[in-house]
């Protein structure tokens, strides 16, 4: 695999939302991919950030007696940046749509589209839902109940919609339907997984309408450069973060070296990324993204997680008990990336115990404890390898390669289950070789050394391979193994090549047993 730019993005958080495990899930997936590529010699760059414009934010800010910028600042600092810490995201940049670099260059982009004739003036009248920040079709409305009886309300928010008509600027998106379809046809990987691609294609095949891209009823947004009485539609504004953060409009060299990006998005916002966004880029004469990957939803009790149903779970509820590594591992391992996945405390707790504590954590403990006890902490040199020893080495190589192939397809769950084959095989190897028995007999001293040497090497391979997912635990393990240089600098594509450090250091349990775990309850 040749080294190159690997630019990966998460959606930017809408600051008014409350962080839940769904947000953290997207972040972790992108972070794991970024770390993996970074440790594969690529110039990996992970972008995340916040979406801060729009009427909804303006209204909450006013309701809270502050300016919208102050409101956004507060949420960024108290909710969103802390979320990244909670699940240990190593992002390279954090863009806010209120950053000057974004506002200025988003305007450049818009002006460019305008000059090139992709934008026209039109009249728009329709029912507008402030909650959705968009105009609704009548079919999206339902009859209100309770306080709103007799009025049409948004089917999603159950709140009254407003009948607005305004002069709008429109983006001639309809002109790009054919080019988009050609893109999906010629590059099947552009939208993935397959189910997502099908959805998008059938949507575009029905034809595209033009997109209203400005609002004049409020002013919390990016000003339309040729008509400052309008602000840019929030989605149009938000999507541009992916290029403004990469230097578009102000640093051509940087932009050239990073773009195009791989976008990781939830399937609910797939269409914005797989249809509108590439159309915008085509209009501007900019290369389309490398890929848009729509992952599934987290289901709690068989239903899409939601705040209104009290199934929304804050990431810290999990990390406070299990730690950030376990959070990352669980969601990456238990859910096929791209499909919906069910979350339950029982499953999380069971996997933590059996896979992290008993499987990987205990393996590390037993190997290091034996080197300390039988070899005075010195990693022994190997004698002649038996077929059993060579089989372990072969597995190290095999899983290293298979994991890389899985990551290449964004099959993070497959990569992890492949690596776990090495965990299981090493546990079996140790039980079979019985180093504790070898240690009792001076004549088997060399064999003992070879076995422990092999086990230490295997652990080192695991530390490297798992470092993108379990950065904290593998960092401790790497140190305990006497690994030289920083673990984050170890090449994951050559993980199996590591042949051991000089001496080990005692290691606390990587994933301590959680004796009594009480499932958090809401309210």
Q: Report yes or no: 371 and 365 within 8 Å, Cβ to Cβ.
A: no
Candidate residues 22, 249, 266, 435; the one interacting with RNA per rule CB under 7 A: 435
* 392 contact partners, CB below 8 Å, separation of at least 6: 425, 426, 429, 454, 457, 458
Q: Is 229 in the site for RNA (CB under 7 A)?
A: no
Candidate residues 133, 166, 199, 254; the one interacting with RNA per rule CB under 7 A: 199
Beta strands in 236-325 (DSSP E): 261-266, 291-295, 298-300, 303-304
* 228 contact partners, CB below 8 Å, separation of at least 6: none
37 has catalytic annotation: no
375 has catalytic annotation: no
Listed as own residue / partner, the contacts of 187-192 with beta carbons closer than 8 Å and 24 or more positions apart are 189/291, 190/274, 190/278, 190/288, 190/289, 190/291, 190/292, 191/270, 191/274, 191/291, 191/292, 191/294, 192/291, 192/292, 192/293, 192/294, 192/338, 192/410
**268-302 as b/e, with b when 16 or more CB fall inside 10 Å?**
ebbbbbbbbbbbbbbbbebebbbbbbbbbbbbbee
Q: What are phi and psi of 265, to 5 degrees?
A: -140, 160
Residue of 114, 132, 172, 223 marked active site: 132
154 has catalytic annotation: yes
Q: Where are the alpha helices (DSSP H) in 188-314?
A: 194-205, 234-239, 241-244, 252-258, 270-271, 277-284
Q: Is 432 in the site for RNA (CB under 7 A)?
A: yes
CA dist., res. 396 & res. 413, Å (int): 18
Q: Is 373 in the site for RNA (CB under 7 A)?
A: yes
Candidate residues 434, 491, 499, 519; the one interacting with RNA per rule CB under 7 A: 434
Of the pair 250, 431, the CB lying nearest RNA is at 431
Of the pair 177, 195, the CB lying nearest RNA is at 195
Instruction: Label each residue of 354-388 as H, E or C.
Output: HHHHHHHHHHHHHHHHHHHHHHCCECCCCCCCCHH
Shortest Å distance, C-beta 9 to RNA: 22
Candidate residues 66, 90, 175, 195; the one interacting with RNA per rule CB under 7 A: 195
Of the pair 84, 234, the CB lying nearest RNA is at 234
Which region, judged by CB under 7 A, interacts with RNA, from 163-171, 278-286, 446-454, 510-518? 510-518
Of the pair 101, 304, the CB lying nearest RNA is at 304
Q: Is 453 in the site for RNA (CB under 7 A)?
A: no
Which region, judged by CB under 7 A, interacts with RNA, from 47-55, 127-135, 245-253, 428-436? 428-436
Shortest Å distance, C-beta 431 to RNA: 4
Residue of 20, 102, 230, 273 marked active site: 20
Residue of 23, 37, 273, 295 marked active site: 23
Candidate residues 364, 407, 466, 487; the one interacting with RNA per rule CB under 7 A: 364
53 has catalytic annotation: no
CA dist., res. 26 & res. 264, Å (int): 7
Q: Is 510 in the site for RNA (CB under 7 A)?
A: yes
Neighbours of 10 (CB within 10 A): 24
165 has catalytic annotation: no
Candidate residues 359, 377, 378, 472; the one interacting with RNA per rule CB under 7 A: 359
Q: Is 268 in the site for RNA (CB under 7 A)?
A: yes
Which DSSP string do the residues of 37-104 spell out, in sequence order?
HHTTT-EEEEEEEEE--SHHHHHHHHHTTS-HHHHHHHHIIIIIHHHHHHTT---SEEEETTSHHHHH
Q: Is 271 in the site for RNA (CB under 7 A)?
A: yes
Of the pair 89, 305, the CB lying nearest RNA is at 305
Candidate residues 139, 149, 387, 521; the one interacting with RNA per rule CB under 7 A: 139
Q: How many residues touch RNA (CB under 7 A)?
A: 53
Of the pair 116, 506, the CB lying nearest RNA is at 506
Q: Is 424 in the site for RNA (CB under 7 A)?
A: yes
Of the pair 223, 366, the CB lying nearest RNA is at 366
Residue of 157, 172, 397, 409 marked active site: 157
Q: Report yes or no: 499 and 461 within 8 Å, Cβ to Cβ.
A: no
Of the pair 345, 385, the CB lying nearest RNA is at 345
CB-hemisphere CA count at 13 Å for 517? 19
The tokens describing 522, both together, are 């809401």
Q: Is 115 in the site for RNA (CB under 7 A)?
A: no
Neighbours of 156 (CB within 10 A): 12
192 forms beta bridges with 293
Which region, judged by CB under 7 A, interacts with RNA, from 82-90, 179-187, 445-453, 511-519? 511-519
CA dist., res. 375 & res. 503, Å (int): 9
Of the pair 94, 360, the CB lying nearest RNA is at 360
409 has catalytic annotation: no
Shortest Å distance, C-beta 350 to RNA: 4
Q: Write out the catalytic residue numbers.
A: 20, 23, 129, 132, 154, 157, 304, 307
Interface positions with RNA (CB under 7 A): 137, 139, 194-195, 198-199, 202-203, 206, 267-268, 271, 302-304, 334, 336, 339-342, 347, 350, 353-355, 357-362, 364-366, 369-370, 373, 424, 427-428, 430-432, 434-437, 509-513
């Amino acid at each position: 695999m040749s080294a190159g730019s690997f630019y990966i993005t998460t959606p930017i958080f809408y600051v008014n939302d409350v962080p839940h495990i769904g947000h953290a899930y997207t972040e972790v997936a992108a972070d794991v991919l970024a770390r993996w590529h970074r440790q594969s010699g690529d110039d990996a760059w992970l972008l995340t950030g916040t979406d801060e414009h729009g009427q909804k934010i303006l209204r909450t800010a006013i309701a809270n007696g502050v300016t919208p910028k102050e409101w956004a600042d507060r949420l960024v600092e108290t909710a969103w940046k802390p979320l990244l810490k909670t699940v240990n995201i190593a992002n390279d940049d954090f863009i806010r749509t209120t950053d000057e670099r974004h506002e200025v260059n988003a305007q450049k982009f818009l002006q460019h589209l305008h000059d090139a004739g992709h934008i026209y003036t039109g009249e728009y009248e329709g029912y507008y839902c402030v909650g959705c920040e968009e105009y609704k079709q009548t079919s999206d409305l339902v009859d209100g109940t309770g306080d709103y009886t007799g009025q049409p309300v948004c089917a999603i928010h159950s709140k009254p919609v407003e009948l607005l008509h305004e002069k709008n600027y429109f983006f001639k998106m309809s002109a790009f339907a054919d080019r988009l379809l050609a893109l999906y046809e010629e590059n099947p990987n552009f939208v993935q997984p397959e189910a997502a691609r099908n959805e998008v294609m059938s949507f575009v095949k029905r034809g595209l309408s033009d997109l209203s891209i400005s609002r004049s009823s409020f002013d919390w947004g990016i000003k339309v450069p040729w008509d400052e009485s309008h602000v840019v539609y929030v989605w149009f504004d938000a999507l541009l973060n992916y290029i403004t953060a990469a230097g578009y409009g102000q640093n051509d060299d940087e932009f050239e070296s990073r773009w195009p990006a791989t976008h990781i998005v939830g399937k609910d916002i797939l269409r914005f990324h797989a249809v509108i966004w590439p159309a915008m880029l085509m209009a501007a004469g900019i290369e389309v993204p490398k890929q848009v990957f729509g992952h599934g939803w987290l289901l709690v009790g068989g239903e899409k997680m939601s705040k209104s149903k009290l199934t929304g779970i804050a990431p810290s509820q999990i990390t406070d008990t299990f730690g950030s590594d376990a959070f990352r591992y669980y969601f990456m391992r238990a859910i096929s990336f791209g499909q919906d996945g069910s979350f339950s405390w029982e499953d999380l707790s069971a996997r933590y115990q059996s896979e992290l504590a008993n499987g990987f954590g205990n393996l590390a403990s037993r190997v290091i404890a034996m080197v300390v006890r039988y070899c005075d902490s010195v990693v022994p040199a190997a004698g002649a390898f038996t077929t059993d020893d060579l089989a372990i080495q072969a597995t190290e190589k095999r899983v290293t390669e298979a994991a890389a192939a899985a990551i290449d397809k964004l099959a993070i769950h497959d990569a992890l289950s492949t690596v776990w084959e090495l965990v299981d095989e090493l546990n079996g190897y140790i039980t079979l070789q019985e180093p504790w028995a070898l240690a009792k007999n001076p004549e088997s001293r060399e064999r003992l050394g070879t076995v422990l040497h092999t086990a230490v090497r295997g652990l080192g391979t695991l530390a490297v391979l798992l470092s993108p997912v379990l950065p904290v635990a593998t960092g401790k393990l790497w140190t305990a193994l006497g690994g030289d240089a920083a673990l984050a600098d170890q090449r994951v594509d050559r993980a199996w090549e590591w042949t051991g450090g000089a001496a080990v250091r005692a290691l606390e349990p990587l994933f301590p047993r959680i004796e009594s775990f009480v499932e958090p309850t809401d309210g």
